Chain A
Amino acid sequence: MLTAILALAAVALALSFVLAIAARVFAVDVDPRAEKIEEALPGANCGACGLPGCSELARRIAEGKADIDACPVGGAAVARAIAAIMGQDFAGGGVRRVAMVMCNGGDESARRRFWYNGVRDCNSAALLFGGDKSCAYGCLGLGTCAGVCPFGAIDMTGAGLAVVDPARCTGCTKCVDACPKGIIRMVPADRTIHILCSSHDKGAKTRKVCAVGCIGCMKCVKAAPEGAIAMDRNLAVVDYEAEIPPEIAGECPMKTIHVRKLDGLADLDAAAGGER
């Protein structure tokens, strides 16, 4: 019995020396800043930065291989925290950008050309005649964007439209890539005037397939301040740099111009220190 205890103690002692040496020889240098940066990052591992996860981005930032504001989800607040850890100045802090579905043609406004009974996924549906929506540019409403959103920021309305909640959207752009129609755009969160249509069809064709589509009449272009709204192949497009009065919505005969209320959003942004 005693022999066994002594023998094991001797083996343990010998191995502890080996471990102690190994710990010195094979030590991995972890930048303590990388750990702190990882704590500062949102931790959603969404991949929006283009890297496999938050820890990889933290490592790159600590090594100086990525910018301190490389996390599109964290925005200015996280960039500021990382700047403090890295001992740098962060001068940015522009308005955060959120996703927006540029289509307001729900089932009550746009028609369905046929009854689709296939896979409940927009990409699959789009392979058959571009989907069942009468408008070739319209939201198919099967919720592929909502499915890929890591933050649950996209709601499907009962009328078959995807709507992004700007308060929950972190701007990771996953939905932008997922939409087969390419109708999700990143817009500044503080803008109120939006033209919710993506149709480049001519006015007569758009009018036939949707009650709220842009028909390219240019009334808004003329009423808005110079250059604030421009025409791009039969579609009015807002320049988000410009200030546009909300009265412009009244000019649109198709009610395509949407005035977004910022009440709740402003409170939320204020709670986050004026910026997120």
Chain B
Amino acid sequence: MMGRFFGGVHPDYNKDLSRGKPIETMPVPGRLVVYLSQNLGAPSKAVVKKGDAVLKGQVIAESGGFVSTPVHAPVSGVVAAIDTFPHPVGTDLPAIVIEPDGNDRWADGCDVERDVDALSSAEIRDLVHDGGLVGMGGATFPTHVKLSPPPEKPIDVLVLNGAECEPYLSADHRMMVEHAEEILDGAALFARVIEVGRVIVGIEKNKPDAIAAMRERAAGREGFEVAALDVVYPQGAEKQLIFAVTGRRVPAGGLPMDVGVLVQNVATCRAAREAVRFNRPLIERVLTVTGRAIAEPKNLLVRVGTPFEDIVAFCGGMSGETGKIISGGPMMGVSQYSLAAAVTKGTSGIVLLRRDEVAQFVSDACIRCGRCVEACPMRLDPSTLSILVERMRFDDAGETGVNDCMECGCCAYVCPSRRPLVQHFRRAKAELRAKARKAG
């Protein structure tokens, strides 16, 4: 049931810079900045105060609601401060600053193997929540929420997202090559929770070694298969991926569960194995540090809270004149104005571009050429939407479907007038959110 979704673009992938580099473990930095907002939804609530000693894996902030997760100390040490820091998603947010004591000692009960076979579905789901798991592809949606579908929405397929369609990034790629067995072990836990017999791993064809590694490991597991997908951005977007591997269409405004599918990123699967089987909460992740402005591109295993500054230094510093630093991939990532931001559970990469690679432009009026309409994987009309936003007709933009925009950036990528389309849509969504809040 392989399908090819509508629209999409073919940017330069630039994955050669880092895809051949094995995952390297970065030493713990001198100071970690752990944000309280590590997930989409409600931010977590700090349960430690300045001066407290913490152990690795200890809860330092608890869930702020159902759509929220706890945050754990990524290292043993002392809470040096609780203050606001620039968050990589583009706003200043509160964070707990931890100074490591050098022992890197686990809290009681952590890092102990558990008999997974004896666990019930509900117990696994609780462990996933307690482990602080969020979608590690970048969206950081709390995993336990995804694992709690209402009874009227039965799920029959689990899709593992290994597409990694963002240019430059190779963290998931390396993860699949090096940790295939662990990913599938975690996926099997998810499959048990939601009681599905079919697991499909979706991987873009530009990662043949990852496809081979995953196929080899999946062969021994009943119901597991690996789908090699066309190389087109945004192949890894949830709805596009579902269509590509199952042929099912998620309705506008709907969720994957509406068509009986659950999607999990491959890194999240591995983190689930760590949390459930070994009681190691989510305190570290693999990310790609790449681009032509970094001395040595690397795939790194870093602790959550590691400042970008230390990561750049560990990769040999910047080479040449840096024009742009992006948290995440170049299509959907957020430009950073300083290296003060720190790694969150959703930081999939840091891309450093040289000044001569960064296009600076002046945007023009829309010429109604329709290229954005052809590129939009959500089948929206970015041209009309952007004009509505420019005229501040946010309600009309809402009715024209601006909330279905997933900000993949395909429209802005193809626009010959260089219009800042995604920024317009983000503005419209923010205005509509504010209005909905005001209305109660």
Does A119 contact B430, Cβ atoms closer than 8 Å? no
A128 at interface by CB-CB < 8 Å: yes
Does A129 contact B423, Cβ atoms closer than 8 Å? no
Chain A residues within an 8 Å CB radius of B86: 129
Task: Identify which of residues 167-182 in chain A touch chain B, using a CB-to-CB cut-off of 8 Å.
Answer: none
15 A/B residue pairs, CB under 8 Å, sorted by A: A113-B338, A114-B335, A119-B420, A123-B431, A124-B420, A124-B424, A124-B426, A127-B423, A127-B426, A127-B430, A128-B90, A128-B335, A129-B91, A130-B91, A136-B92
Chain B residues within an 8 Å CB radius of A275: none
Q: Which 3 A-B pairs have the closest CB atoms?
A: A114-B337, A124-B427, A128-B90
Chain B residues within an 8 Å CB radius of A129: 86, 90-92, 337
Chain B residues within an 8 Å CB radius of A124: 420, 423-424, 426-427
Chain A residues within an 8 Å CB radius of B430: 123, 127
Interface residue from B90, B92, B335, B360 paired with A127 (Cβ < 8 Å): B90
Could you tell me the distance between the alpha carbons of A132 and B335 in the complex, rounded to whole angstroms? 12
Chain B, 2-35, contact with A by CB distance < 8 Å: what is the 0/1 string?
0000000000000000000000000000000000
A118 at interface by CB-CB < 8 Å: yes
Task: Identify which of residues 76-132 in chain A touch chain B, using a CB-to-CB cut-off of 8 Å.
Answer: 113-114, 117-119, 121, 123-124, 127-130, 132
Does B420 contact A118, Cβ atoms closer than 8 Å? yes
Chain A residues within an 8 Å CB radius of B420: 118-119, 124
Could you tell me the distance between the alpha carbons of A124 and B337 in the complex, rounded to whole angstroms? 17
Chain B residues within an 8 Å CB radius of A127: 90, 423, 426-427, 430
Chain A residue nearest to B87 (CB atoms) is A129
Chain A residue nearest to B358 (CB atoms) is A117
Chain B, 90-101, contact with A by CB distance < 8 Å: what is the 0/1 string?
111000000000
Chain A residue nearest to B86 (CB atoms) is A129
Number of interface residues of B (CB under 8 A): 17
Does B92 contact A118, Cβ atoms closer than 8 Å? no
Chain B residues within an 8 Å CB radius of A132: 337
Interface residue from A117, A119, A128 paired with B424 (Cβ < 8 Å): A119
Does B90 contact A119, Cβ atoms closer than 8 Å? no
Interface residues of A (CB under 8 A from B): 113-114, 117-119, 121, 123-124, 127-130, 132, 136
Chain B residues within an 8 Å CB radius of A119: 420, 423-424, 427
Besides A119-B423, A129-B86, A136-B92, 20 other A-B contacts (C-beta < 8 A)? A113-B338, A114-B337, A117-B361, A118-B420, A118-B423, A119-B420, A119-B427, A123-B430, A123-B431, A124-B420, A127-B90, A127-B426, A127-B427, A127-B430, A128-B90, A129-B90, A129-B337, A130-B91, A130-B92, A132-B337
Could you tell me the distance between the alpha carbons of A82 and B337 in the complex, rounded to whole angstroms? 55
Could you tell me the distance between the alpha carbons of A113 and B420 in the complex, rounded to whole angstroms? 21
Interface centre among B90, B337, B361 (most CB of A within 10 A): B337
Closest chain A CB from B84 CB (angstroms): 9
Could you tell me the distance between the alpha carbons of A162 and B427 in the complex, rounded to whole angstroms? 21
Chain B residues within an 8 Å CB radius of A114: 335, 337
Could you tell me the distance between the alpha carbons of A129 and B325 in the complex, rounded to whole angstroms? 14
Closest chain A CB from B68 CB (angstroms): 23
Task: Identify which of residues 418-438 in chain B touch chain A, using a CB-to-CB cut-off of 8 Å.
Answer: 420, 423-424, 426-427, 430-431
Chain B residues within an 8 Å CB radius of A128: 90, 334-335
Interface residue from B91, B360, B361, B427 paired with A123 (Cβ < 8 Å): B427
Chain B residues within an 8 Å CB radius of A123: 427, 430-431
Chain B residues within an 8 Å CB radius of A118: 420, 423
Closest chain B CB from A46 CB (angstroms): 15
Chain A residues within an 8 Å CB radius of B91: 129-130
Closest chain B CB from A197 CB (angstroms): 19
Does B360 contact A121, Cβ atoms closer than 8 Å? no
Could you tell me the distance between the alpha carbons of A123 and B338 in the complex, rounded to whole angstroms? 22
Chain B residue nearest to A123 (CB atoms) is B427
Chain B, 65-92, contact with A by CB distance < 8 Å: what is the 0/1 string?
0000000000000000000001000111
Could you tell me the distance between the alpha carbons of A136 and B431 in the complex, rounded to whole angstroms? 20
Given contacts A123-B427, A129-B90, A130-B92, contact A117 B360 (CB under 8 A): yes
Closest chain B CB from A206 CB (angstroms): 15
Chain A residue nearest to B419 (CB atoms) is A119
Could you tell me the distance between the alpha carbons of A113 and B427 in the complex, rounded to whole angstroms? 21
Could you tell me the distance between the alpha carbons of A127 and B361 in the complex, rounded to whole angstroms? 20
Chain A residues within an 8 Å CB radius of B427: 119, 121, 123-124, 127
Chain A residues within an 8 Å CB radius of B338: 113
Chain A residue nearest to B337 (CB atoms) is A114
Could you tell me the distance between the alpha carbons of A129 and B335 in the complex, rounded to whole angstroms? 10
Closest chain A CB from B91 CB (angstroms): 6
Chain B, 375-415, contact with A by CB distance < 8 Å: what is the 0/1 string?
00000000000000000000000000000000000000000
